[in-house]
A and B are shown apart, each in its own frame.
Chain A
Amino acid sequence: MLPVDSPEQVRARLEETGYLLDDGLAVACYLALRLHRPVFCEGDAGVGKTALASALAEALGAPLIRLQCHEGIDASQALYDWDFPRQLLHLRAAEAAGVKDADRLERELYDRRFLVARPLLRALQTQPSVLLVDEIDRADDEFEAFLLEVLSEFQVTIPELGTLRAEVPPVVVLTSNRTREVHDALKRRCLYHWFDHPGFARELAIVRRRLPEVSSRLAEQVTALVQALRAQDLLKPPGVAETLDWARALDALGANEVDAELAVATLGSVLKYREDTERARGLDFAAVLAGRGA
């Protein structure tokens, strides 16, 4: 699907879309493309798990098909469903036209045009495509077993139609926030990648790339502050998404650089818990800024 023959090429292609990645993730994406294995992404919220799928889709020039998991999700929401109203309408129309051939009518009833393709089936039918199964940990375990079948064979069996198989398997990205342990049977068919928070240099690069309008000094200061905040003992350490939010917020205030006072005033865009905000007030913002300042 994509003429890549090394992880470096994958990385270069993804970086063109503005998604910066480390060695491990580059290897993971490369193997996913080569071996047709899903990538299982775990990590804190806001570290770029979901963004990976959109970046892959953009790099491959393929549509992104997203399946958002939730409690109680089942096959008719994830795979396919029959369009009852249309089937009914079809019967009525046939009746009005005086069609008497019952067998034919029945066969027509389970025709492809009455099939409503949900994300999984759509991903198998669209080539190439990137399938994002988001927050798999929110679905029930029954659904995992079902997903397993689809992802290992890249085919589904519809009793009325037969087996549909993807000629080119989609690139699959699964994400989990670890609210629940996902079953090992599913995990072992995937490439497992743990997303860490990026280091200073890479995070700065991400900010610069995503927000070119923000002054370079501000970007550097915000990144340093977020890195310092992450080292604190916080309930919810800020992710890259929060760094970007913060930089955007400060930029919207017309700031070209940030001082301790302004940082505290805008802390609400990074920290979302009262306890965290209080703990962060103990941090010496001025010292962090001075360390990264001049």
Chain B
Amino acid sequence: MIGVTDTAAAGPPGADAALLGFARALRAAGVGASAERVHAFLRAVDALRPGVRDDVYWAGRLTLCGDRDDLERYERVFAAYFGTGEAPPRPVRTAPPPRLGLVVREAAVAARPDGPEDGPPQGPPAASLASSVEVLRHRDVAGLDPAERAQVRRLLAAFSLRGELRRTARRRPSRRGDVDPHRTVRELLRRGGEPALLRRHARAERPRRVVLLVDVSGSMAPYADALLRFAHAAARGRRTEVFTIGTRLTRVTRELSHRDPDLAMAAVAEAVPDWRGGTRLGELLREFLDRWGQRGMARGAVVVLLSDGWERGDPQLLAGQMRRLHRLAHRVVWANPRKARPGYAPLAAGMAAALPSVDAFVEGHSLASLEHLAAVVRGAESAPGTGGATPGRDVSAAAPASGDREPAPGTASVPAGARARPP
């Protein structure tokens, strides 16, 4: 443990070294403390009382953190680095406790120091990740040979996902529309006040925001890689947000912003801690709506759930949250890869509970069906040709439950091209 007071007494260089070490530890724990932020941190400590624990704490928290998710990590690293000392200045309540936390990397939690006293500064709780080999295993796209897989990836990379258009408050120069006094007057001025052409403007149109919620739980494992690549291609537009759901909700928009699909996939693999777990759709949907959706992300947006609706939790909760989502969003689209199977009926409790609040229920198992999904998001009516079922009617349809079971490993796959599209 490094005592702040001691180092400060030893003179500025030592103190600065301690502070820089702290910044490095933070970075290792996943807080993006850039050089510029560290510079601000040193200046801030300088402006305060460098030897005082509380001041160092707040100076760092104000300058080095940039997000609410950073605060918890900051708290942990600060305690590990400077020792817990006399009770931390103030427990940071980063989130209302009963709710689910966002991604907390598991090994980092394990590294939480119990006995803070003595010893060299605890290795900062490094954010550790499932090894990449393990992650690969989890996301194995069964049934595809390497050539096919490469081809599917190339094709997926060419996707684009634009939301339905909506009219904005802004006006753009246009041939038709109302007279634009600004530009008309400017034109007049340019011609010395002679009457000139009337300039016009009209309301601009913009695509709506698209929010993708990708299920990465065990039952979706054969599709997760392809769907995430689809999400990567879709997230190139700046108005697309992507989350993964499984046992936790993880926002991966930033990870997916790498241009290169493979780099982006690696970044996502690192960020998502819950590959192949169970699914708690209802709880995670609530988490999404509480933290993001209701604040504005889902408002007026096209929200797409890519999931098989295999819910481990209470279907009633999912039904309630879906109703909430439906009230917020412009359109709710559910893409279910299992839907393409012959004899499929949405009997999984989660799927049945969600369907009444879904505007379009589509497939998501092949490239062709993803193309169709993109068309639906763009505003096309649901399901011409892909055998789209009307939501609601299907729920009551009696059909063998076998169509909705979890797959035996290795049976399902993301087929190349439209080859595997059902007849």
Contact = CB atoms under 8 A, between A and B. Distances in A.
Contacts of A139: none
Given A35-B47, A177-B295, A88 B189 contact: yes
Contacts of A217: none
Contact of B295 (A24, A178, A191, A275): A178
A137 B296 contact: yes
A35 B66 contact: no
Contacts of A71: 168-170
B32 interface: yes
A42 B69 CA distance: 12
On chain B, which size bracket covers the interface? 35 or more
Nearest to A24: B58
A85 B169 CA distance: 24
B26 to A, nearest CB: 13
A84 interface: yes
B295 A179 contact: yes
Interface in B213-242: 238
Contact of B93 (A177, A180, A193, A196): A196
A209 interface: no
A56 interface: no
Contacts of B289: 235
Interface stretch (A26-34, A57-65, A153-161): A26-34
Interface string B281-297: 00000000110101111
A184 B254 CA distance: 11
Contact of A237 (B40, B96, B254): B96
Contact of B193 (A91, A235, A237): A91
Contact of A23 (B54, B188, B238, B296): B54
Given A91-B189, A184-B32, A237-B96, A179 B58 contact: no
B290 A27 contact: no
Contact of B170 (A31, A34, A72, A275): A72
A141 B237 CA distance: 13
B37 A27 contact: no
A122 interface: no
A256 to B, nearest CB: 32
Nearest to A194: B68
Interface string B190-217: 0001000000000000000000000000
A23 B59 contact: no
A22 interface: yes
Most buried by A among B66, B182, B294, B324: B66
Given A180-B296, A193-B62, A236-B294, 18 more contacts: A23-B89, A24-B58, A72-B169, A85-B185, A88-B189, A92-B193, A137-B296, A178-B292, A179-B296, A184-B66, A187-B66, A188-B40, A188-B66, A189-B36, A191-B44, A194-B92, A231-B96, A235-B289
Interface of A: 7, 22-24, 27-28, 30-31, 34-35, 37, 42, 70-72, 84-85, 87-88, 91-92, 137, 141, 177-181, 184, 187-189, 191-194, 196, 230-231, 233, 235-237, 275
Interface of B: 32, 34, 36-37, 40, 43-44, 47-48, 54-55, 58-59, 61-63, 65-68, 71, 89-90, 92-94, 96, 98-99, 168-170, 182, 185-186, 188-189, 193, 238, 253-254, 289-290, 292, 294-297, 324
27 contacts: A23-B89, A27-B55, A27-B58, A27-B59, A34-B47, A37-B40, A70-B169, A71-B168, A84-B186, A85-B185, A88-B185, A88-B189, A92-B193, A177-B295, A179-B295, A181-B253, A184-B32, A187-B67, A188-B34, A188-B66, A192-B63, A192-B65, A193-B62, A194-B65, A231-B96, A235-B290, A236-B294
